[in-house]
Structure 1
């Protein structure tokens, strides 16, 4: 069994490799060439533990992921991914699920920007400067010609550390701290929300026309990042899987209140496979809750690249 820690994974796969992996996952999803049950979700007080199994013709595996929103000295989201050899059933790899989740979720935002951002998009704003937000910015900058970055966090003390980490990856792009979420939205062509908030983090204001909003954070029914004004004025919302309709408050609440109908939710796999073309004259919204298929193909991609360059540690199992 090959063990791949954070350093191995970051050496093995660039963010561009992860974006290609999630695009591949969208094609597999559209072709329905996989098996995946709904994630099992358990709670520990106000925290979450999720089990996410999946298999395809080439690989099988599962991710165990925890979400502890109040963590201060550790990432909010942590986990491990186990890969199983589809030929003989052996456990062939154990991967650090914390960094893998961050990379593949960042890649989801990057893929959304690649297909949904207009060619004129030059600025990106991030609300929520945690571990996940770092890879969102890295991925968007990899696919768009970004000239300015804007950051906002309810706890502003976290921003200087975030900027130091970001500058290790992003060179020669000015990074600004927005005074308010409204200030960030006004100045950004692409807006990313990466929080676990139970109340909208975007302002109730007429500020979103022709912009791209990427919602990454809310993954449970009580969590919500999008405001009513944005939702009531949408033509459609792109979602990363059908399961998202049953998982995120950013979808469940608009459905319950009649702000959106089920017909307005479009699987993003149809954009990747060119069955649906986005309307760049409208506000575009992409909502992700993630799914095990992304983890499986991302893990398989990292594993294959690690084997090629001889990264990782072989363990007896």
Structure 2
């Protein structure tokens, strides 16, 4: 039996963002087709500890991820992703933080490619934590982004975030602001990657045609988007069961009567049969599902286990 343990550099070297987006797209289609056995994730200490698992029936392979979250430490996400196969005893272990950031970014890339206007060039990003860089990478992989506006209450932290991205932003007009209304006023794509419990901006601040990704709120007490935006948008989610259990903004909007469960469309279904009509405003809401981690783990297994 062989167990290969990877570090963050190993993961980044093996899986590019375009490759992750392509694989995650196939994963969502497979999920819609019933290829995965995927229990609801175990949540302990109000979301500070998570356990997620997925079994891919056609390949008899599985992934289990365990992690802890603490937004007052660096890194905020710490844990392991373990890949297993029924056909052999070899295993692969990868760090949960980088896998989570990569798979979450890739899902945003898939949704943005499906829902944003083809010539979207102005991206606004809320949050500069561990998920933020892959949000930028994913949107840039599918749309010709020429301007990036970063919104943060601490401009110094935003500058350090942009400096860390460095050459990746070559040719991009980069702006920093503390004003969320100004930041979204003419955005084509908005990415929300924060742990806030209150909406980040009013719906009235957005242009009439815009695509919004919201991946930060993963507990019922967290909420990045206002009810008014959800009531006026075509909403795509990663998986309805997980969303109804964990998405604070969706739960809040349902209770307020701003939308109904029937208004939610799963990403896999939308990819298999794109809707013929939709509202000019689109939203992708994700709380993250185990299938996404399985997809990245499979790419790593292909690269390192052969």
Q: Same fold (TM over 0.5)?
A: yes
Per the alignment, residue 216 of structure 1 pairs with: 215
TM-score (norm 2): 0.94
Q: Distance in 2 between matches of 1:105 and 1:226?
A: 18
For the 8 Å contact 1:47–1:68, the answer to whether it is kept is no
Q: CA RMSD in A?
A: 1.6
Q: What is the 5 A alignment of 1:130-279?
A: 130-234=129-233, 236-242=234-240, 243-277=242-276, 279=278
In 1, the alpha carbon distance for the partners of 2:210 and 2:138 equals 18
Once the 2 structures are TM-superposed, how far is the Cα of residue 132 of structure 1 from its aligned partner? 0.4
Distance 1:176 1:266 in 2: 33
8 Å contact 2:155–2:177 — kept in the other structure? Answer: no
Check the 8 A contact 1:208/1:230 in 2, yes or no.
no
Cα distance per residue 1:153-187 (max 9 Å; x no partner): 12333111100122242321121112411111013
* Residue 206 of structure 1, CA deviation: 4.5
Unaligned segments of structure 1, at least 5 residues: 309-317
Q: Secondary structure at the match of 1:22?
A: helix
- Residues 278-313 of structure 1: per-residue CA shift (max 9 Å, x gap): 63x6100110111011101111112212346xxxxx
Q: What's 1:293 paired with? A: 291
Structure 2 Cα separation of the partners of residues 113 and 278 of structure 1 = 17
Give per-residue Cα distances to partners, 1:124-174, cap 9 Å, x unaligned: 010011120110001100110111111001233311110012224232112
How many residues are matched?
A: 301
Residues of 1 paired with 2:78 and 2:202: CA distance?
Answer: 30
Q: CA deviation digits over 1:13-33, x for unaligned, max 9?
A: 100111012111101111111
What are the equivalent positions in structure 2 for 1:28-107 lying under 5 Å apart?
28-43=30-45, 48-56=48-56, 57-58=58-59, 59-71=61-73, 74-88=74-88, 90-107=89-106
Moved more, 244-253 or 216-225: 244-253
| d(CA) in 1 for partners of 2:15, 2:181 | 35
